C-alpha cells in the first residue's frame, strides 16, 4: 500500500518532461517497501523461533522446564516444572514407551512388523501405540468398555487395534490386563505390564528426565 500511494502521487505530479525522474522515484519507493517488509519478517522470525523435528521419536524428551512463580515465591527456591504434556503423546509415558520398545527390539524379543500388546485404559496405551507405529510395529490394546470412547478413537487413529472388554476385578481372569497378557502369549508378541517396576523401566525413565 505504501508503494501504491507513493507511485500514484508520483504519476499525478508527472509531466512529459519529468518521466525519467518520476520513474526513479517510483522504483525507490518500491525498493524501500520491499526492504521494510523483509526487515519485519526477519524480526518476526527471531521473535518466534521453532525447531523442526524429523518425527515423533525425535520430539520425545528434552521437554522445557517452566518456572512456577507461586511455588518459587512461597518456598524461596526456584521451582521448575517439567512440561511433559508437550511430548507428542501428551505425557511422560512417551519416554516409557520408547524405553520398552527399543529394549525389546535390541534384545530380539520384538522385530519390525511385530506386535506389541497392552492392557491399559490410560496414557500408557496411547504412548505405546504411537511409538510402536513409529518403529514400524503393530499394537493391540485391550481396554475396559467403560473407558471414554475418545481414548479408543485416539488409539485407533494411531493405528492400534482396540479390544473393549467388560470391566472386572484385577484378580479376575477376564480383567483387561489379564486378557492382554493372554493375547500376547498367543501371538508371541511383546507384552508390557502396567507400571509396577517389574521390568525396571520406571528407573530408566526417571534417569531420562535429565533431558
179 occurs within a structural domain: yes
Paired residues of 140 in beta bridges: 117, 161
How many angstroms separate the CA atoms of 61 and 57, rounded? 9
Task: Name the residues annotated as catalytic.
Answer: 93
Q: What is the pLDDT of residue 156?
A: 96
User: What residues make up the domain containing 134?
Assistant: 89-208
166 domain-assigned? yes
With b for 16 or more beta-carbon neighbours within 10 A and e for fewer, the 187-210 pattern comes to eebbbbbeeeeebebeeebeebee
Flag whether 96 is in a domain.
yes
Model confidence band, residue 205 (pLDDT cutoffs 50, 70, 90): low
107 shares a domain with 18: no
For residue 193, the domain's CATH number is: 3.40.50.1100
- Please state the φ and ψ torsions of residue 201, each to the nearest 5 degrees: -70, -30
**Residue in this structure with the C-alpha cell 519485519, named with its chain if needed:** 40
What three-state secondary structure class fits 147?
A: coil
Predicted confidence (pLDDT) per residue in 155-167, tens digit: 999 999 999 999 9
Is residue 14 domain-resident? yes
- Whole-angstrom distance, CA of residue 82 vs CA of residue 95: 13
Same domain, 18 and 104: no
* Same domain as 101, residue 180: yes
Cell of 98: 520408547
Does 203 share its domain with 149?
Answer: yes
Please indicate whether residue 144 or residue 44 has the higher confidence score (pLDDT): 144
Is residue 97 domain-shared with residue 159, that is, in the same domain? yes
Average pLDDT of the segment spanning 12-27: 54
Would you say residue 61 lies in a domain?
no
The verdict on 96 and 43 lying in the same domain is no
Are 93 and 191 part of one and the same domain? yes
Number of folded domains that form the chain: 2
- Assigned domain for 83 exists: no
Express as a percent the part of the chain with pLDDT over 70. 65
pLDDT at 194 over 80: no
- Residue 90, sorted as left (phi over 0), alpha (psi -120 to 50) or beta, turns out to be left
The answer on 131 and 33 residing in a single domain is: no
Query: 147: how many CB neighbours lie within 10 A of its CB?
Result: 18
Please count the other Cβ atoms lying within 10 Å of the Cβ belonging to residue 145.
13
Q: Which of 6, 94, 93 is nearest to 56 (CA)?
A: 94
Given a cut of 90, is residue 132 above it in pLDDT?
A: yes
Residue 195 clears pLDDT 50, i.e. is over it:
no
Residues 100 and 180 both lie in one domain: yes
| The three cell numbers locating residue 5 | 500511494
> What are 43-102's pLDDT values in tens digits?
555 545 667 778 899 999 989 999 999 999 999 999 999 999 999 999 999 999 999 999
Same domain, 34 and 128: no
Q: Which residue has the higher pLDDT, 195 or 80?
A: 80
Quick one: pLDDT at residue 198? 45
> From the centroid of its chain, how far is CA 183?
29
Q: Is residue 36 domain-shared with residue 138, that is, in the same domain?
A: no
Q: What is the DSSP letter of 53?
A: -
Find all residues with CB under 8 Å of 71, minimum gap 6, and list them: 79
118 in any annotated domain: yes
141, 138, 136, 153: which is closest to 179 by C-alpha? 141
Residues 194 and 127 both lie in one domain: yes
d(CA 129, CA 18): 72
pLDDT at 187: 78
The answer to the question of residue 76 being in a domain is: no
pLDDT at 196 over 50: no
Q: Is the pLDDT of residue 129 over 60?
A: yes
Q: Compute the distance between CA of residue 193 and CA of residue 174 in angstroms, rounded to an integer.
A: 15
Amino acid at each position: 500500500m505504501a508503494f501504491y500511494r507513493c507511485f500514484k502521487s508520483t504519476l499525478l505530479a508527472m509531466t512529459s518532461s519529468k518521466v525519467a525522474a518520476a520513474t526513479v522515484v517510483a522504483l525507490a519507493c518500491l525498493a524501500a517497501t520491499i526492504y521494510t517488509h523483509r526487515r519485519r519478517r526477519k524480526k518476526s522470525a527471531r521473535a518466534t523461533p521453532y525447531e523442526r523435528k524429523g518425527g515423533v521419536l525425535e520430539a520425545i524428551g528434552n521437554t522445557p522446564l517452566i518456572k512456577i512463580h507461586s511455588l518459587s515465591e512461597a518456598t524461596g527456591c526456584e521451582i521448575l516444572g517439567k512440561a511433559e504434556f508437550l511430548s507428542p503423546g501428551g505425557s511422560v509415558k512417551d519416554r516409557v514407551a520408547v524405553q520398552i520398545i527399543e529394549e525389546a527390539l535390541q534384545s530380539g524379543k520384538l522385530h519390525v512388523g511385530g506386535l506389541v500388546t497392552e492392557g491399559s485404559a490410560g496414557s500408557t496405551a496411547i504412548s505405546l501405540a504411537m511409538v510402536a507405529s513409529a518403529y514400524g510395529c503393530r499394537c493391540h490394546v485391550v481396554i475396559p468398555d467403560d473407558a471414554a470412547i475418545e481414548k479408543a478413537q485416539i488409539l485407533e487413529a494411531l493405528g492400534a487395534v482396540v479390544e473393549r472388554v467388560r470391566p472386572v476385578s484385577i484378580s479376575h481372569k477376564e480383567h483387561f490386563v489379564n486378557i492382554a497378557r493372554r493375547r500376547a502369549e498367543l501371538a508371541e508378541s511383546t507384552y508390557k505390564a502396567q507400571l509396577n517396576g517389574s521390568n525396571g523401566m520406571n528407573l530408566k525413565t526417571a534417569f531420562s528426565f535429565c533431558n
